[in-house]
Copies of this chain bind each other. A is one copy, B any other.
């Protein structure tokens, strides 16, 4: 049996009681370690589980899945995923491969950022499609996300923006020379995301959002030092929210009063918040 076990969002104690039982019994335990991270180290997980954990990078999961699945027809293999196994990054391909090999699989759900973002007090009902923001480079500033945000904005809905993480990336030179030397991990911040959004708007000029648009920055959701900051994109582009992981929600025009009452507490500046709110939010649907 292949068990896909969600680890939740913050630390080793966010695993469910059911998930922990699976990990303790499994023959091998893999940790998916390239699409998200917990706020604690692999060593801390190993100490908590009382057993070794094999780090599974993108290469292993995408091209070495048969190695992960080896023997899973007879023994239990646990594949740990930060958040929920079918949350922000789905692992359907691994399950499909298991299915082809006649191996059963079971999912142990857990909190995902896709629902954990409810901690902002914004109603999950009022979110449109989720988008991802990648690190812009000098020559590559993809703006396809902007079209999807536009669709949400036109409907007055909130947009969850998931921020890029770069783990085990190689420099162009090291890749070309076949050197397995990796760059230090990078995690996009709320400030970087807000700046890139404003950069896209500058370029596309369709008025989907602007410096006065309200957004919520969320850092380390579910952790002991979870932090929420509410402000205009201009304000958020200058905010320091501390260590990763960060996410951002662009507020939809149909946000209602209960949502306002909840998030106002976290405003960088209550005066600019009130002014921006009055100008563009709280429209009835």
Instruction: Indicate whether A18 reaches chain B with its CB closer than 8 angstroms.
Output: yes
A251 to chain B, nearest CB (A): 15
Q: Bound state CA distance, A176 and B12, in angstroms?
A: 52
Known contacts A17-B14, A90-B121, A124-B130; is A6 also within 8 Å of B111 by CB?
yes
Residue from A11, A92, A121 whose CB has the most chain B CB atoms within 10 Å: A92
Q: Bound state CA distance, A173 and B245, in angstroms?
A: 54
Closest chain B residue, CB of each to CB of A112: B115
Considering only CB atoms and an 8 Å cut-off, how many residues of chain A contact the other chain?
56
Instruction: Indicate whether A183 reaches chain B with its CB closer than 8 angstroms.
Output: no
Q: Bound state CA distance, A215 and B249, in angstroms?
A: 29
B110 near A16: Cβ-Cβ < 8 Å: yes
Q: Bound state CA distance, A110 and B221, in angstroms?
A: 12
Instruction: Indicate whether A84 reaches chain B with its CB closer than 8 angstroms.
Output: yes
Which of the 9-residue segments A29-37, A188-196, A258-266 touches chain B? A258-266
Q: Bound state CA distance, A12 and B16, in angstroms?
A: 10
**Interface 1/0 per residue, A73-92 and B, CB below 8 Å:** 00000000000111110101
Copies of this chain, complex-wide, total 2
In the bound complex, residues from chain B placing their C-beta under 8 Å from that of A261 are 96
Instruction: Indicate whether A244 reaches chain B with its CB closer than 8 angstroms.
Output: no
Q: Which of B13, B127, B130 contacts A16 (CB 8 A)?
A: B13
Residues of A132-146 at the interface with B, using a CB-CB cut-off of 8 Å, are: 132
Instruction: Indicate whether A128 reaches chain B with its CB closer than 8 angstroms.
Output: yes
A50 to chain B, nearest CB (A): 13
In the bound complex, residues from chain B placing their C-beta under 8 Å from that of A99 are 265
A129 near B127: Cβ-Cβ < 8 Å: yes
Known contacts A155-B129, A222-B109; is A118 also within 8 Å of B96 by CB?
no
What is the predominant secondary structure among interface residues of chain A facing chain B?
Answer: mixed
Q: Bound state CA distance, A17 and B17, in angstroms?
A: 6
Residue from A15, A21, A151 whose CB has the most chain B CB atoms within 10 Å: A151
B111 near A109: Cβ-Cβ < 8 Å: yes
In the bound complex, residues from chain B placing their C-beta under 8 Å from that of A14 are 16-18, 109
A118 near B84: Cβ-Cβ < 8 Å: yes
Instruction: Indicate whether A123 reaches chain B with its CB closer than 8 angstroms.
Output: yes
A237 to chain B, nearest CB (A): 25
Residue from A8, A93, A121 whose CB has the most chain B CB atoms within 10 Å: A8
Residue from A124, A132, A155 whose CB has the most chain B CB atoms within 10 Å: A124
The 10 lowest CB-CB distance pairs between A and B, nearest first, are A86-B118, A109-B111, A112-B115, A13-B18, A115-B115, A13-B17, A114-B115, A109-B116, A109-B222, A92-B121
